[in-house]
Amino acid sequence: MKSAPEFQLALRSAVRRQKLRQAARLVRAALPLTASLAIVGIVLALVAPQLFAGSARLTLLILALGLLALLLVPVFRSMSPIQAAKTLDQDLHLPDSALAWVQFSDSGTWWDALRAETLGRLRSAVSPTLRSDKNTLILAMILIVTLLTGSWIWIPSVPQGSSGVTMPADLTSLDEVLEDWSAFAESNPNRAGNEIKEAAKALEVALQDREADRSNLLVRIATVEDRLQANLSSLDSLQSLLPALAEALSADPSQSSPPPSASEALDKLAAQLPADFTPANASELEELARQLSEAGHTELAEALKALAKSTDGKQAQDALKKLSKALSGAEALADAKRMMELAMMQLAAAKEGTGSGSEGALSMLPKLSDSGNPGSGAGSDPDFPESKTVRALEAAPLLAPVTSANQSAGEAQIQVLPTAEGLQESPTRAPTSTAVSEGPLSEEAITSEDLPVVHRATVRRYFESIRPKTETP
């Protein structure tokens, strides 16, 4: 008797409406608090971004999610039959008819009369659909606005580990970066290699533990790049010493077309050395070795020393091979620097989220794993030349003195080539001076570009992180 479908349906409907009403009431009550939190968050993000970073962001996000969960509690809370009956009575303006229904025993003539009376009232009651829809609409709108506002304010600040959508693409690229670094470190068991290896390991741990966000990754990569920059600056001295090396080797400078790399040139040169070859100027080579040793290139220095002390072609070949190997390590150092620059550009592009999102931005850039494949994929992008080209370009000043060989004579002829045009030309101004002038440009770009206000500080930090720390005198 009591399970009249009409009554049960009305009861369930009333319960649903009541839950929505309670949730809407809570949302309305929590609006001032939520708005205050949002304002505080925006102000912090704009005024004091350093206070609005790291674990503070996560804490605030957890608070926001907790608040949201609190608002949804009434929706999932069960109601007793008496409460449901009261709700139905209130919704349909019934004089406690539903309450009497659920509290009466379902027998006797009075129950029959009450049942008929209540069902009659239910049928003639004004439908509260309009009120219910209004509440539902208010609740839905408030929730949507809250979520949108929250995602704009909080979600970009979350460590990427908590986002399961965009992180895998970033991780893939970063994994490739780390693989390249590891390969470089294994092929170069020197100090620079060890530093790269340690940096790669630290980054890998940070990525696995998801303890670092994009900004932290950028800073870490920039730090490693600074170390590499310091190492490469020492290579400049090697570059200035190579003419002396060429002169010391007394090679025939008739070869005009440079080979793709210094190490390959040296390998080729070693193969062409006559059996009775002795260095023409051993003392200059030893001086060169000393200078390289002081610059930290112990492997190169050892190879040069061995070359200076060679007494026949066989020893000279071995020494040249060692020199070639050491040079390839130095070139890899340049490659690593380039890789890190590309990684930073990738991360910066992904961070900005331009175009169709971070993944789209990443796809615009060359894949680091493709850097060793000339002419393939993104390596053909003129803005991001392939690694081989980069290697050749960077090695060009090194190669010019040592790679010219007289093919017809069958004897290595070392010649210092005149300074070439274009890419082989020495830079007209130092990189650091460019970076100094880059400051105002970057600031102008930050203000002129359509960047979210809360992200400007991040972009500014990125520019600062990639700027060299020392100025050219």
Partner 1 sequence: MNSADPSFANEFREKIRRLETEVGKVIVGQDKILEDVIIAIVAGGHVLLEGVPGLGKTMLVRSLASALDLSFQRIQFTPDLMPADLLGTNILVEEAGSHPRFEFSPGPVFCNLLLGDEINRATPKTQSALLEAMQERSVTIGGKTRLLERPFFVLATQNPLEMEGTYPLPEAQLDRFFFKLRVGYPDRTAFEEILRRTTEPNTTTIQSAFNDAELNELGDFAKAVPVPPEIRSRAADLVMATHPETSSASASVKKFVRYGASPRAGQALLLAAKIRALLQGRFHVASEDLLAFALPALRHRVLLNFEAQADGIDADVLITEICEEKSKAWASL
CB of 33 to partner 1, least distance (A): 23
Which of 100/262 has CB closer to partner 1?
100
Residues 6+ apart with CB under 8 A from 2: 101, 102, 106
Burial of 126 (0-12, 13-18, 19+ CB in 10 A): exposed
The amino acid occupying position 109 is T
Residues that bind partner 1 (CB under 8 A): 18, 79, 82-83, 86-87, 90, 95-97, 99-100, 103-104, 108-110, 112-114, 117
Which of 3/105 has CB closer to partner 1?
105
Residues 6+ apart with CB under 8 A from 289: 300, 301, 302, 304, 305, 308
CB of 109 to partner 1, least distance (A): 6
Q: How far is it, in rounded angstroms, from Cα 275 to Cα 304?
A: 18
Which of 86/305 has CB closer to partner 1?
86
CB of 22 to partner 1, least distance (A): 8
Q: How far is it, in rounded angstroms, from Cα 208 to Cα 176?
A: 14
Q: How far is it, in rounded angstroms, from Cα 297 to Cα 303?
A: 10
Q: How far is it, in rounded angstroms, from Cα 395 to Cα 403?
A: 11
149 neighbors 38 (Cβ within 8 angstroms): yes
Which of 6/112 has CB closer to partner 1?
112
CB of 6 to partner 1, least distance (A): 18
Which of 4/56 has CB closer to partner 1?
4
CB of 103 to partner 1, least distance (A): 4
Alpha helices in 250-280 (DSSP H): 262-272
Q: How far is it, in rounded angstroms, from Cα 232 to Cα 468?
A: 13
Q: How far is it, in rounded angstroms, from Cα 159 to Cα 214?
A: 8
Match 């009575």 to its residue by tokens: 89
220 CB-side CA count, 13 A? 22
Take residue 425 and report the two structure tokens written for it: 């030309």
CB of 98 to partner 1, least distance (A): 10
CB of 129 to partner 1, least distance (A): 20
Burial of 285 (0-12, 13-18, 19+ CB in 10 A): buried
CB of 5 to partner 1, least distance (A): 21
Which strand (E) or helix (H) includes residue 416?
Answer: none
Which of 46/75 has CB closer to partner 1?
75
96 CB-side CA count, 13 A? 3
Which of 118/255 has CB closer to partner 1?
118
Which of 113/147 has CB closer to partner 1?
113
Which of 95/439 has CB closer to partner 1?
95
CB of 97 to partner 1, least distance (A): 7
